[in-house]
Structure 1
Amino acid sequence: MTALDPEPELVRLPWNKPLEEWDDDPRVVDLPRGISRHVVRIVRVGDRMCAIKETQREMAEREYAILRELRHLGLPAVKPRAVVYNRRSLDGEELPAALITRHLRYSMPYRMLFSHGLHSDSLPALIDALVVLLVRLHLAGFYWGDVSLSNVLFRRNAGEFAAYLVDAETGELHESLSTGMREYDVEVGCQNVFAELLDLHAGGMLEETCDPSDVVQRLQERYDRLWTALTTTEEFDADQMWQIEQWVESINELGFDVEEMDIETKAEGARVQLRPRVVEAGHHTRELQSLTGLVVEDALARRLLNDMGAFCAYWHLGEMPREYVARRWLREAYEPLVARIPEEHRATLDPAQFFHDVLVHRWFLSENAGEEIDLWETLDDYVDNVLPGLPRVAR
């Protein structure tokens, strides 16, 4: 075994049996899994869960190394834990190698989302999450080779989604990607997503009014727009430098920060060229973490920061330092509400997402009632009428 963070319990798993024979082991967890060409099992190891995939040793070691590098680059991908090889059954039969990755907390494969009632009007958000992931990988020089919804895990991100790479078997890391490599990746993604949506149609999980061709067109258009915004050199008049701020804000709206810029003056200062050099997602995530210690997806972090701002205005704390406001918001708003998560749901609910969803529910109740509904009354209604219908996800 080659392990990134070795645990004795990993060694004690029944490696002398094929994965398909593990179902009677009490450590195997019956959680939804994405479609895979390999045998995969979710196993509880200590206080965390792992995904174990059988494959060839060379493929397992290669994917393990790529996932380590992607994590080192700060890209959204599952965390590799170990590779197990030279496995043999009790009668001496050679068994496949196994790749172990950490199960992504609060994540769901796309089929689980649709099997639990996700409607086609949520597809744009799902596709946008896939596009953002693909652009980030391409910016880092990663050629995916098998872009698809099946090779991604999704986390709810306020009213949006965040996508994580879960299968890097066909991937390659380069210094940079050629236009042809990027275009081929997008083309493969369009073909795979089209086929996956047809499969959802056949399974009755997608409305007949949803046209897969329109969804695939959105994937292509959104990718082109985001890639252009992040890689194209912009040029402004030197006496209109306010446009730089507007340009940076337009990139922020796409979910990215501009941390550095290449600036080149032309024609004796008459024109200025700008190109983002280091582009990274997660501005709101970092801001919320620095203020509160909470680590959540970026759109969700933005919503929580907005609620913190409303809390600040309600209690007239505008003159106080943001750190003071954040501590009071945590103590008086966030923590009391998430403490009311029912015991039977605490292992499967993301507290920050729960907080956000209750606030959204309050808005709907108040809109229907024509008056402000009490927060704790909203919480009771949400727990009684909404929570039971939500899919269970793993921490």
Structure 2
Amino acid sequence: MTVDPPERVMRYLFRPPAAEAAGLLSLPWHQPLAEWDDALLIEVPQRGISRHVVRFTACDGRVYALKEIAEPLARHEYALLSEFEGEGLPSVSVLGICVDRPDAQEAILVTRYLEYSMSYRYLFSGPRAEHDPERLIDTLVQLLVRLHLAGVYWGDCSLSNTLFRLDAGSYTAYMVDAETAERYPTLSAGKRDYDVHLARERVGAELMDLQAGELLPGDIDPISIADGLPVRYAALWEEITREEVFRADEQALRVAERLARLNDLGFDVGEIELVTSPEGARLRVDTRVGEPGHNRREFARLTGLEVQENQARRLLNDVHSYRAYLETREGGPVAELEAGRRWLTEAYLPVVDAVPAELAGRLPPAEVYHEVLEHRWFLSERAGFDVGTWAAVRSYLQQVLPRTPSELTTPSVIADRGRSLDRLVTGRSRSD
């Protein structure tokens, strides 16, 4: 391993597991990021716009984002992102910072690259672009509401500072940049309003930039979309936080409806406060602020798989359908856990295992399975009868999945790149 001379003493602060950072220590941290050898870096085609110098590298089969930033801001962001990860808030995962660099250089913040994530620019310019800014704004609004519920003032909410992951045909949004964020026990209405105001301005400018690049359809007005952001935010905030008053005899039904509505919106329920009196009942729901998990937990219980919330909701429906099929075929009840196990081995795994090696890694397995289900429905509608799973799989692998670009996070691609970097910084490969 290359050791810096004494005059280049630097400090590295890494979060556990520290072993993950070991392979990064040989990188030339004493040099400005802008001057690093291109051979040490990798291109991320879906990266967004940043006001800082940002570079990407791979090591031990993982991709990392390196951002050059003033040390106080780096320490602030490092601390906040560590908190967010511990609480399950949707944000990128921080690994560490490098400080005390020579010649009064700024610190470098190291975060783990969010696999299968896309920037808003990539979503509008990529091969799978669907030109749906309203759906993207809804996803961004949900992220902002989730942060505000956790007492987080973002201060720089924008499409550029957000990454998006496909989630059963929809998207899940993740916070990328937290250098301007502040944390409070609770967030005042004024702070929330100002955050929403800033988001509206930034989103409007970003959509106008897309329009100038001819990436927006002509019938979409960026200003109108941006003006709708505060309206969407206010409606979601009201739905999530409002107290509900109803007659005592409606108690069970109204509580169940409210909890189901919150789950459908992607929020988990924490504490429920129900105050009853002769005049009626008052319901207050404390919403959990971590990543949505109601369906994820149930799906994991039945199958052992960890997926995203919308994927879990869609796949749970398929598990339930498969259970009904088994009970009809076998003429008797099938336990939930048994149905989940058999769905996994008889339905899910055969489909995802059918993806050929040259297409593996284009999408997460759960998203592939969801898209196969959607493709089966589309083919069946067109044919006028159910074409069956395997006809849908063959058609999907021939016509749909090849149009999805090979992602940087394909394990084999990262592993190969990581081995190349090993040879460059240490002069040997892991197999030596």
Distance (Å, rounded) in 2 between the aligned partners of 1:218 and 1:158: 25
Cα distance, 1:347 vs structure 2: 3.3
Q: Which position in structure 1 is the counterpart of 2:123?
A: 113
Query: Size of the alignment, in residue pairs?
Result: 388
Match of 1:149 among 136, 145, 159: 159
1:229-308 alignment to 2 at 5 Å? 229-241=239-251, 242-266=253-277, 269-280=278-289, 281-308=292-319
What SS does the corresponding residue of 2:90 show, helix, strand or coil? coil
In the superposition, relative to structure 1, how do residues 142 and 330 fare at CA in structure 2: closer, same or farther (>3 Å)? Answer: same
Q: Which moved more, 1:222-231 or 1:176-185?
A: 222-231
Match of 2:29 among 15, 18, 43: 15
Match of 2:78 among 46, 53, 64: 64
Q: Which position in structure 1 is the counterpart of 2:105?
A: 95
In the superposition, relative to structure 1, how do residues 164 and 24 fare at CA in structure 2: closer, same or farther (>3 Å)? Answer: same
Q: Which position in structure 1 is the counterpart of 2:3?
A: none
The residue type equivalent to 1:306 in the other structure is N
What SS does the corresponding residue of 2:268 show, helix, strand or coil? strand
What SS does the corresponding residue of 2:65 show, helix, strand or coil? strand
Distance (Å, rounded) in 2 between the aligned partners of 1:345 and 1:26: 26
Q: Which moved more, 1:160-169 or 1:281-290?
A: 281-290
The residue type equivalent to 2:284 in the other structure is R
What SS does the corresponding residue of 1:239 show, helix, strand or coil? helix
Cα distance, 1:244 vs structure 2: 2.0
Contact 2:315–2:370 under 8 Å retained in 1 = yes
Structure with higher helix content: 2
Q: Which moved more, 1:294-303 or 1:276-285?
A: 276-285
| TM-score using structure 1 length | 0.94
Cα distance, 1:73 vs structure 2: 1.8
Cα distance, 1:373 vs structure 2: 1.7
Match of 2:54 among 23, 37, 40: 40
What SS does the corresponding residue of 2:78 show, helix, strand or coil? helix
Q: Which position in structure 2 is the counterpart of 1:86?
A: 100
The residue type equivalent to 1:138 in the other structure is H
In the superposition, relative to structure 1, how do residues 21 and 383 fare at CA in structure 2: closer, same or farther (>3 Å)? Answer: farther
Q: Cα deviations across residues 89-123 of structure 1 (Å, max 9, x unaligned)? A: xxxx4432100001111111111111115233x22
Cα distance, 1:24 vs structure 2: 2.0
The residue type equivalent to 1:218 in the other structure is G
Distance (Å, rounded) in 1 between the aligned partners of 2:97 and 2:293: 31
In the superposition, relative to structure 1, how do residues 31 and 19 fare at CA in structure 2: closer, same or farther (>3 Å)? Answer: farther
Which structure would you say has the larger RCO, counting Cα contacts within 8 Å and 6 or more residues apart? 2
Distance (Å, rounded) in 2 between the aligned partners of 1:256 and 1:338: 29
Q: Which moved more, 1:167-176 or 1:366-375?
A: 366-375
Match of 1:341 among 327, 336, 355: 355
| TM-score using structure 2 length | 0.86
Cα distance, 1:42 vs structure 2: 1.5
Distance (Å, rounded) in 1 between the aligned partners of 2:96 and 2:163: 20
Q: Which position in structure 2 is the counterpart of 1:207?
A: 217
- Note if 1:160 corresponds to 2:170: yes
In the superposition, relative to structure 1, how do residues 26 and 344 fare at CA in structure 2: closer, same or farther (>3 Å)? Answer: farther
> What is the aligned-residue identity percentage?
44
What SS does the corresponding residue of 2:23 show, helix, strand or coil? helix
Contact 1:82–1:101 under 8 Å retained in 2 = yes
Q: Cα deviations across residues 116-135 of structure 1 (Å, max 9, x unaligned)? A: 15233x22221111111100
Gaps of 5+ in 1: none
Cα distance, 1:27 vs structure 2: 5.0
Match of 1:138 among 148, 166, 186: 148
Contact 1:22–1:28 under 8 Å retained in 2 = no
- Note if 1:383 corresponds to 2:419: no
The residue type equivalent to 2:365 in the other structure is P
Root mean square deviation, CA, Å: 1.7
Distance (Å, rounded) in 2 between the aligned partners of 1:17 and 1:174: 37
